Structure 1
Amino acid sequence: MNRLDQHKGYSRVFKENHLTLGLFFPLESYKGSIPEMNMEKQIKLAKRAEELQFAALFVRDVPLLDPSFGDVGQIYDPWVYLGYIAAHTKNIALGTASIILTLRHPLHVAKAAASVDKLSGERLILGVATGDRPIEFPAFSVDPEQSRILFQEAISVMKKSWAENFPKIQSPRVQMTNGDLLPKPSLSDIPVLVTGHSSQSVKWIAENSNGWLYYPRNLKIQAGLIKNWRSHTDQFKPFGQSLYVDLTEDPNHEPVPIHLGFRIGRNRLIEYLERLKTEGVNHVIINLKYGQRPVEEVIEELGEEVVPHFPALTEKHQTE
C-alpha cells in the first residue's frame, strides 16, 4: 500500500480511474498582471469551495513581477498564504503549482512544506518546478544551466530530511553532518508532484516523484503523455493538469479556445472533463483569471453542477 494513501490531502484528491477538481488562487478574474486580492472575499470563496466538495485549492510561486509574463498569481508568498488559508479551512487539500526549487534552498523548502503539512492536518500537495521566467535566475544569482541538477538535488534533500532523523546530506547546496530538520511530516513524507518536465526525463520523474502535473494539451497529445508516464511505473502515480475556464451562462456553449483553456458552457465542460478522465487525468486545477462573469456565480455553478460529477474523494470513495 502507498503510505501517501493515508495522507489527508493526497487521498482527497487522487485515486486511480478517478478525476477531481481544484481551483487556483486568486479566486477572481482580472485583467493585466495584478489581481485585486480582497482577502475577506478570498476566504469566503475558499470556504465555499470546500463546502461544494472541490478537492483542492492551489497557489503559485511567482517570486518577482515580470512585466513580460503578465501574471503574478496570488501575489503573496505561497508559504505565508497557505498558512493563512489553512487556518480558515478544515478539509480541502492545499497545493502548490508550483514551488520553484531552483530559486529556494532545499532545506528551507523542506521545513516550510513540513510546517504547512503539519499545521493543516496533512493537507499539503507539493507541486514543484524549475522556473521558466528568464528574469528570475539572475535576480537570485542562479545559473539556469544548473536547473536540472538543482531540481534533482532539492527533491532528494527534501525526501531524505523528512524521512530520516539527523540525516547526513552532501550535495551542491547542502553540507549537513549534524542537526536535524523539524517538524517531521506525520507520515515521514509529503506528496511531491513535478510540474512539466522541469528539465527531467519522464522516467526520472516517474521514479523520483509522487505524481506529475502538466499543462492543457490536445487530447490526443495528453493521452500519449499519460501513456508514456504510466509505462515508467508499476504503481499508481497521479497525473494532473491545469485548465483556464471562462464559464458561460449558456450551459451548452461550445468550447472556444482561450489561453490554456476554453470559454465554455458547463455541459460541454463536463463532457470534456469526462474525456480527460477516460484518458487518465486524475485532477484538473481550474484557473478563473479570464472569466467574464462574477466569480461567485461561476464557483457556485461549478460546485453545484460540475463538481458532483468529479467530487473530492471521501472515505467511501477511497475504499470503493
Structure 2
Amino acid sequence: MSVAYGIQLPVQSQSTLYAEPWEADAGPEDLRAVAVAAERAGFAYLATCDHVGVPRRLADAMGTVWYDPVATLAHLAAVTTRIKLLSHVAVVGLRHPLATAKQYATVDQLSGGRLILGVGAGHVREEFEALGQDFARRGAVLDEVIDALRAALGPEEYPEHHGKVYDFAGLGQRPRPAQPHIPVWVGGSSPAAVRRAAVKGDGWLPQGDPRDQLPERIATLLRLRAEAGVTAPLTVGALTEPLYLGTPGWHVGRRTLTGAPRSIAASLNAYPAMGVHQIQVRFRCRDRAELIDQITAFGAEVAPHLD
C-alpha cells in the first residue's frame, strides 16, 4: 500500500508562516471547493487547526483568522463523502473532555465515521488563562484528557473516567461516534510530545521536522512505544516541504520542491523509506484556481508514483 497523502486546509487558519496572500479575501466557498477537489484527487484527509483567541503580542505572526475546527469539519462533511476529517491539532486541554467528546462524536456520526482526532498541548498562554486552564500543567493535563476522551468517545453511552483533573460517570451522551474506535493522533515534536504519541497515540503528527531529523525521531518514537509494551499499529506522519508541480514563473520560496511530477514523487518517496505512513502536503499558489490545479495534478501525476 502506498503512502497516504493529506492536506491542511487553506483559509481556515491564516498564520503568516504559511498562508498565501489570496487567502485573506477567501471564505467558505473556497474552503468547500478545495475540500471537494482534494477528495476527487484521492487525498486521505482534510485537516484544520485550533485556536480560540490569539493575543495581540502574537497576532502579527499568527493572524487572528482561525475557523473553529469542529464547525469547519462538520460543514465540509456535508460536501464530501469519503475523505477523512482531521483536527490538526485540537488543543483539547482548553475544554472539558465531555464537551470535546460531544462535539467530535457528533462530527463522526454526521460524517459517517470519518473523524481522526489530532490533539496537541497548545502553546498560547493567554488562551489557557482566559479559559481558566493551567498553562504550566498543560502537558500533564493533556495526558489525562487523552485517557478521558478514549472513554468518552468509546462505545459506552454512559462513559466513565476518574482522574486527577477530571472525574465523570453516569452522564449519557448520544449520538455515539459512528466508528467503534476514533483514531487519536498526537501532535508535536518535543520530547514530551514524542513520548505522548508513543505511549498514548494511534498516530504521530510531527510539526515540520526537517527530513534529516525524522529518522532519529521515528526511532525514538518506536523505541518508547516498545518499552511501554504498546503493540497496536502506529500511523507515523510527516509534513513535507512546500510543493509546486511544474516550473513556476514566480518566486515560490527556496525550500519549495518544484519540477516534474515524477521527480517530486521520487523526492517524496524518501518519507516512506524512513517509516512514514502518511504525508501532509502543502502547495504554493497565487489563487484558489491554481491551488486546485496543483491538488488535481498531484493526485493524477504524483500519487501513482509514491511508494
Return the TM-score normalized by structure 2: 0.82
Residue 63 in structure 1 maps to residue 64 in structure 2: no
Assess if the C-alpha contact under 8 Å between 1:22 and 1:283 holds in 2. yes
Aligned match of 1:236: 233
Aligned match of 1:247: 244
Whole-angstrom CA distance in 2 between matches of 1:58 and 1:41: 15
Q: The residue matched to 1:99 in structure 2 has which SS? A: coil
User: Number of paired residues?
Assistant: 291
Note the C-alpha offset of 1:294: 3.0
Note the C-alpha offset of 1:142: 2.0
Residue 270 in structure 1 maps to residue 265 in structure 2: yes
Aligned match of 2:209: 217
- Relative distance call for 1:134 and 1:309 in structure 2 (3 A) is same
Aligned pairs for 1:59-208 within 5 A: 59-67=48-56, 68=58, 70-72=61-63, 75-163=66-154, 164-197=156-189, 200=192, 202-208=194-200
Assess if the C-alpha contact under 8 Å between 1:61 and 1:73 holds in 2. no
Whole-angstrom CA distance in 1 between matches of 2:266 and 2:70: 35
Whole-angstrom CA distance in 2 between matches of 1:74 and 1:24: 15
Aligned match of 1:51: 40
Assess if the C-alpha contact under 8 Å between 2:257 and 2:264 holds in 1. no
Assess if the C-alpha contact under 8 Å between 1:60 and 1:73 holds in 2. no
Note the C-alpha offset of 1:203: 4.2
Runs of 5+ in structure 1 lacking a partner?
Answer: 1-16, 312-320
Whole-angstrom CA distance in 1 between matches of 2:299 and 2:268: 9
- Relative distance call for 1:35 and 1:25 in structure 2 (3 A) is farther
Which amino acid in the other structure matches residue 242 of structure 1? L
Which amino acid in the other structure matches residue 250 of structure 1? T
Note the C-alpha offset of 1:297: 2.2
Aligned match of 2:16: none
Aligned match of 1:293: 286
Return the TM-score normalized by structure 1: 0.79
What is the RMSD computed on CA atoms of the aligned residues?
3.1
Assess if the C-alpha contact under 8 Å between 2:238 and 2:271 holds in 1. no
- Relative distance call for 1:305 and 1:243 in structure 2 (3 A) is closer
Whole-angstrom CA distance in 2 between matches of 1:40 and 1:279: 37
- Relative distance call for 1:31 and 1:190 in structure 2 (3 A) is same
Q: The residue matched to 2:62 in structure 1 has which SS? A: coil
Assess if the C-alpha contact under 8 Å between 1:243 and 1:284 holds in 2. yes
Provide Cα deviations, 1:66-97, integer angstroms capped at 9, x if missing partner.
Answer: 44252358632111111110011111111110
Note the C-alpha offset of 1:279: 0.8
Runs of 5+ in structure 2 lacking a partner?
Answer: 13-18
Aligned match of 2:15: none
Whole-angstrom CA distance in 2 between matches of 1:91 and 1:74: 27
Q: The residue matched to 2:180 in structure 1 has which SS? A: coil
Whole-angstrom CA distance in 2 between matches of 1:73 and 1:170: 36
Residue 279 in structure 1 maps to residue 274 in structure 2: yes
Assess if the C-alpha contact under 8 Å between 2:241 and 2:282 holds in 1. yes
Which amino acid in the other structure matches residue 258 of structure 2? I
Provide Cα deviations, 1:178-233, integer angstroms capped at 9, x if missing partner.
Answer: 22222222343200000015773634422311110002223221011112222324
